[in-house]
Amino acid sequence: MSKQFVSLALAISTISVAHAGTVTSEGKDLIINTESGIEVKTTDDSASFQLGGRLQWDYDATQSDGKGDTTDLDVRRARLYIKGRYGDWAYKTQFNVAESDGADGGTVEDLYIRYHGLGSLANITVGKQKEPFGLEELTSSKDISALERSAMTERYAPGRNAGVQLSGAGSNWTYGVGYFEAEGDSSNDFDNTAITARGTIAPLQTKDAVVHLGAGYTTRDAAVPANEVDTYNLELAGAMGPLHAQAEYFDSEVGQVELDGYYVQVGWIITGESRPYKAGAFKRVKPSSPQGAWEVIARYEDGDGKFSDVGLATTEGEQTTLGVNYYANKNVRLGLSYMDGKEASGETGDEVRARFQYAF
């Protein structure tokens, strides 16, 4: 079903480009925006439709004590989305056209309906969506400064699940709280459920500077009571001109076992741009000149994490990441990173990754 949906979306976009002519509307006048993807909305902003997506081609070479050497060139992510709204109702559908490591395309990322008739302070979202937890997790994969998220985020952040969420935002704060399925799609989704919440505030927020504070919590049922999970998260981040930094700490209780971990990341945009920030998350760098923008980043993490990017296990360890990004324009990004990890047992692994990204 999803493959047919993607084919139809591509056909519509091709027809809109190939045949020039007069566009008419039976309703209100329309505004068509093609700066990034295709967006059509009414002049009174009461209804809209947008088509967009991303394509990430990656080369990665991994060396590890446990799995040996591997090299690969494949699609890391290829996604198409359609979102829109009519009156007080909005929706989003996003599908993976292809995935890396031999996984099939056609899987669902986002599939939800949102009611925002109560204003910006209280939106109700029903469907598959990201649970409100973690700064790095809630920053889009096309916008994160490192090519891959930290081993700590991969270990503790729940990601996307079906559920119901109440969320809202003010001028410098956000919140979200929701009730979700805890173990993915199954024949009985509510056998095991999760409650997840996050709040953020930016005590300083100007055009070129921001200070971000955040906290999150998730409690999750499991088929085996000893595997039930309670996880806390603290966020600290900031940007000042071309410099930006962020850190997160995670503490998790899995039955009677306590796990924790943290990461610290710093970045410098050499060409002088500031990293954008909106509604409790960072966005990708937008070049201020036709020559593009350059960024360098470094990250260190330590604790119980998921170190699969460097061919290691989900265990206690540490990892260092160095990276450089070139933003040719607001759509195109070239990235190169080096990750070096070490388990507490002494096993080591590293990865070199290069990415070509087009997001629209």
Q: Tens digit of pLDDT for each residue in 59-101?
A: 999 999 877 899 999 999 999 999 999 999 999 999 988 766 6
Mean pLDDT lowest among 5-19, 55-69, 258-272: 5-19
Q: Where are the domains positioned within the chain?
A: 2-359
Please say if the pLDDT value at position 113 is more than 90: yes
Please provide the DSSP assignment of 22-34 as one string: ----SSS-EEEE-
* CA atoms 88, 160, 262, 337: torsion sign: negative
pLDDT at 54 over 70: yes
The arithmetic mean of pLDDT across residues 263-289, rounded, is 96
Q: Which whole number is the average pLDDT over 189-209?
A: 92
Using one digit for the tens of pLDDT, what is the confidence trace for 301-328? Answer: 999 999 999 999 999 999 999 999 999 9
At 208-255, the pLDDT tens digits run 899 999 999 999 998 777 789 999 999 999 999 999 999 999 999 998
Superfamily of domain 2-359: Porin (2.40.160.10)
State yes or no: pLDDT of 280 exceeds 70: yes
Residue range 165-187, pLDDT digits in tens: 999 999 999 999 999 998 766 66
Contact 238, 210 (CB under 8 A): yes
Window from 9-18, 129-138, 333-342 with minimum mean pLDDT: 9-18
Give me the chain's average pLDDT, please: 90
Q: DSSP labels for 198-248?
A: EEEEEEEE-SSEEEEEEEEEEEE--SSGGG-EEEEEEEEEEEETTEEEEEE
Give me the percent of the chain exceeding a pLDDT of 70: 89
Query: So what's the pLDDT on residue 335?
Result: 98
Q: What percent of the chain has pLDDT over 90?
A: 76
H-type helices in the chain, by residue range?
2-18, 135-138, 151-156
List C-alpha distances in Å: 79 to 51, 114, 128, 348: 11, 21, 16, 33
pLDDT value of residue 67: 77
